[in-house]
Chains A and B, each alone.
Chain A
């Protein structure tokens, strides 16, 4: 029987890619292991090998097609004795079950961006543009680099390769290699160097391929960037942004999958920002680059491809230190940041179906925290659920609970509940990984419990 060739997933987080080139033509004989096509993702170009033997009967997706979804049929291979007439049967057959590689990605992780509501800023009435978080980050950097020649981007793979996650696409072409700078694998080196450049009046944007690698350089972030203005009696400031993917990605294992929010939020002298939407990403990154203090900018790999409507205005920024009520509600307050905002909004939908109106607060900034917005919300709802992907011990949820004790104790009708990642290193096994992260139903259950329902 004729066999469909499906668009393969070349990485755990890949949702679609470009079929850049066919290496076989219709009618060619194909042996197992033959190279069939070249596929391009946001990260890499890779070759696809044939698994089965036969004749390339039909090319369904022509070369040059972009946005080919993972698992979409791209070609048909005919077995010996079959003819092109057999092809229609195959095409009409129901789509096969997903390949193991895509099962590995937690379903809700990729679904979240698609179902996430569009964010918009209440005080903006200009034109909007629909862009991904990835594009928002790139646009924010490009706009600030155009506006201020002291701003530059530095990190591993940021220039020639345009970013390990393709955040810096086009920046090398526009700004040249003096301002978009590839480094050797030297986190201490390029972080410390950038801190020194910031001490000298430049405004570096340091990209960590992921925040896991910031651990190599954390001494420079905390002991040097965060403390030198203080220790020099106000003489030597450090206008710098440390940005990159933070938190659980997908199928990258314990050492490449963890949330640094509470690590950095703990430290005086730093500002810590965690965007969720493309609005957050663009507005907060622009504000972070303009800020005269060191800013930790925690992105999320899974959100990079999510699209949102964003104000189309280079003057639009989102203030650091202000939370945003993404959804108003009177029954329970859910605070979240980064990817968990989307989960919390999904949970709010589940709760609404049961007659519970949740107020979802996107924290946006973790230091300094907008306690006023949180406390005011709890004064209304009398209940708080804190959601984070990271570990519970000494996490952001612990801080939320403490704030409630200190500033809203008399307003609480139920104990604060924390929804966190499991207190373990991230499992690599797909089923265990999915189990260890907060999900909308768990958040909804926590919200119901504080509503005594």
Chain B
């Protein structure tokens, strides 16, 4: 028997669980301000999640998927993007949206059921959240194809979870992106859980990164709780994509420290002790330790950040709560580029019904 080919999956981590240097840091980490920015985004993400969950628990927000424990993946990956790259996120990537400059109020509106929440003024080419699992992976390949056809040196970042890797959509997207060398980087935010299905019940594959091998693109793992590593690995992949070297798959290993969504109770299917153990890998605490020990990040800095973060989020939450709801007829306005006659008739009917008080909308 002859060995035909051989593959390796590499794993990158710079900071260990305690926030100490495990291997020499990449160049960008020399700039402590860059690291402080990553830290700030992670703290803001955690504050946003906490506020959103609280709003949901008090009946003022729809179902919400917190990213508690996964902030480094979302923030680190998005921080590696250029402004004119395109983000194609799944529904648990508020950290990436924050990095991309989507206002908190917009995000509250979105999760509150107001479509104006997807009106991105800052980054109008970024895609809205994909609620369906994994179906946005081919869309990301399509956005990358548009860039390639136009000869642009840009790239697409597509984020999805470990559960999505079992979907045909993700395979087909990676396969086609591989053939056509499309400038797209797929990042698996592997939080080990697809609602109640644990990673080992998702696939018999030893790693998720190795799914890249089957489609002939690069694949690797990164410590998803080490924001420096995520920023570095995704950044290299995006750079390769922009320079025409094709797509890449990054599996970021992290852990979902909370429920799947506000509609879920994870204590019914997983051991609290295991969850508690994973708190030792907390990405926020890890970078904080590093900054404490290497970048002069002190108690005052920390308190100031937590205060300003909470205030920013609270201000946005209040603005969201004070936003008047859209008029009932708005539900007809964006279905087609122009409202067709039959829909226009239904729209008029709703206006009439509400005006007559027969339906309070």
Contact = CB atoms under 8 A, between A and B. Distances in A.
Given A152-B149, A200-B125, A192 B139 contact: yes
B152 to A, nearest CB: 10
A170 interface: no
B142 A194 contact: yes
A199 interface: yes
A32 interface: no
A192 B172 contact: yes
A386 to B, nearest CB: 18
B127 interface: yes
B333 A234 contact: yes
Contacts of A291: 337
Which of A188, A201, A220, A236 is packed against the most chain B CB atoms within 10 Å?
A188
B138 A229 contact: no
Contact of B127 (A220, A223, A236, A268): A236
Interface in B89-134: 114-120, 124-125, 127-128, 132
B106 to A, nearest CB: 10
A219 B142 contact: no
A224 interface: yes
Given A178-B149, A233-B115, A236-B128, A195 B334 contact: no
Nearest to B340: A368
A292 interface: yes
A224 B139 contact: yes
B128 A228 contact: yes
A193 B173 contact: yes
Interface string B164-190: 000011001101100100000000000
A199 B139 contact: yes
Nearest to A239: B337
B340 A220 contact: no
Nearest to A232: B118
B135 interface: yes
B6 interface: no
Interface residues on B, range: 35 or more
Contacts of B146: 196-197, 200-202
A229 B173 contact: no
A369 B342 CA distance: 9
Given A189-B172, A189-B173, A196 B337 contact: no
Grouping DSSP codes into helix (H, G, I), strand (E, B) and loop, the B interface class, with mixed when no group exceeds half, is: helix
Contacts of B333: 234
Contact of B341 (A189, A197, A236, A368): A368
A189 B144 CA distance: 13
For chain A, the bracket of interface size reads 35 or more
B216 to A, nearest CB: 12
A321 B335 CA distance: 16
Interface in A191-219: 191-202, 219
A193 B119 contact: no
Contacts of A371: 342
Given A192-B135, A233-B116, A184 B149 contact: no
B230 interface: no
B86 interface: yes
B142 A198 contact: yes
Contacts of B138: 188-193, 195-196, 220
Contacts of A132: none
A230 B149 contact: no
B143 interface: yes
A15 interface: no
Nearest to B106: A233
Contacts of A183: 176
Contacts of A200: 86, 125, 142-143, 146-147
A399 to B, nearest CB: 12
A233 B142 contact: no
Contacts of A178: 149
Contact of A193 (B145, B334, B335): B145
Nearest to A152: B149
Nearest to B182: A193
B139 A196 contact: yes
Given A188-B168, A196-B138, A229 B145 contact: no
A184 B132 contact: no
A198 B145 CA distance: 10
B334 A233 contact: yes
Q: What 3 A-B pairs are tightest by C-beta distance, nearest first?
A: A196-B142, A192-B138, A189-B172
Given A202-B145, A223-B135, 9 more contacts: A189-B175, A196-B127, A199-B142, A200-B147, A220-B138, A229-B336, A232-B115, A234-B115, A234-B333
26 contacts: A178-B149, A184-B175, A189-B138, A192-B169, A193-B142, A193-B176, A195-B139, A196-B142, A196-B145, A197-B146, A202-B149, A219-B132, A223-B135, A224-B132, A224-B139, A229-B335, A229-B337, A230-B334, A231-B118, A232-B115, A233-B114, A236-B127, A237-B337, A269-B335, A269-B336, A368-B342
